[in-house]
Structure 1
Amino acid sequence: MENLPVYHGPIGKEEGERRLAQDGRDGCYLVRNSDTVQGVYCLCVLCKGYVYTYRIHKDDAGSWAAETTPGVDKRYFRQIKNLIAAFQAPGQGLAMPLLFPVTAQRRARAQAEPRTPTDGLSPTAPTSPFLQQSRPHATQGQKNRNKNKKEVQQAFG
């Protein structure tokens, strides 16, 4: 499980929900340890502002299965990555297909990066004409990202 990019470890329900809300896209998902059942994991997916949690576990034969919506046949997979791949398709017993992985590695890199420049320069007060000229381009890039995010939300909302 530790090699699975979307595995976040024993982060707890609230932290898992916070991380998904931080991403904010319907279909973003992660895997964490269950808070209540030892040796069981939770597959958490965001859908319309709610986090749906499905228990996943390995049986005695070594196959992975997920507890899905009642009435949907339980499916078994040799590897956890195959289970996740299967649930990326619609109609598999989850509230929302798994569309956007929230990876623990990406999160760890973001936390490890310094938030302020290490050379002592202030990001709000550029000291050279080059930095002053490059700032509008960065602002325009942010506008484009926001525009693209809105377009994606409209397409899936």
Structure 2
Amino acid sequence: MEFPFFHGKISRKACEDLLCKKGKNGSYLIRESETVAGALCLCVLFEKVIYTYRIFREYEGCYKVQTSEGVPQKVFKTLKDLIYNYEKPNQGLVTKLRYPVKKTSSSRRSQRFKTGNDDIYDEIDESDYVDVLS
């Protein structure tokens, strides 16, 4: 399954530029974290500010969004489930996810998640994720 809002290894600055260009509250994309190996970042625009939420893949294969201490964590079987949940209001994000910022055709490059013993994505069935940008 391809996620058109997954931008792979783009910089925080490039992410901010894309979201600001969209300019609508609730615009979002997912990118790879620049600072935490194996983590993804859900980046959301609200009131001209970009909010970034880290997504971690657990060894069981489930996804969770990093929360503040004391806030219950939600666990999702797939990224699609995670996005679907946060498209609803009052789920813990600054605003609900409304407008996916899709990767542009000029920047598309086919690449599968790397596999290896130290890779957080080892347990992903490649049929779930077809094309990814780096």
1:21 aligns with 2:20: yes
Relative to 1, partners in 2 of residues 1:101 and 1:44: Cα closer, same or farther, differing over 3 Å?
same
TM-score scaled to structure 1, two decimals? Answer: 0.64
Aligned to 2:117: none
Separation in 2, partners of 1:80, 1:97: 16
Counterpart of 1:31, as a letter, is: I
Is the helix fraction higher in 1 or 2? Answer: 1
1:72 aligns with 2:66: no
What is the root-mean-square deviation of aligned Cα atoms in Å?
1.8
Q: Shift of the alpha carbon at 1:91? A: 1.1
Relative to 1, partners in 2 of residues 1:69 and 1:98: Cα closer, same or farther, differing over 3 Å?
farther
Aligned to 1:36: 35
Percent identity at matched positions?
A: 37
Separation in 2, partners of 1:69, 1:47: 19
TM-score scaled to structure 2, two decimals? Answer: 0.75
Q: Give yes or no for contact 1:29–1:44 (8 Å, CA) kept in 2.
A: yes
Aligned to 1:139: none
Counterpart of 2:105, as a letter, is: A
Counterpart of 2:97, as a letter, is: L
| Greater RCO, CA 8 A, separation 6+ | 2
Moved more, 59-68 or 25-34: 59-68
Relative to 1, partners in 2 of residues 1:70 and 1:22: Cα closer, same or farther, differing over 3 Å?
farther
1:103 aligns with 2:102: yes
Gaps of 5+ in 1: 113-157
Alignment length (residue pairs): 108
Separation in 2, partners of 1:108, 1:64: 27
Aligned to 1:88: 87
Separation in 2, partners of 1:47, 1:72: 21
Aligned to 2:119: none
Q: Shift of the alpha carbon at 1:72? A: 3.1
Q: Secondary structure at the match of 2:43?
A: strand
User: Within 5 Å, which residues of 2 pair with 1:117-156?
Assistant: none
Larger radius of gyration: 1
Gaps of 5+ in 2: 109-134
- Deviation by residue 1:27-68 (Cα, 9 ceiling, x = unmatched): 000000001011100000000000000000110110011114
Counterpart of 1:5, as a letter, is: P
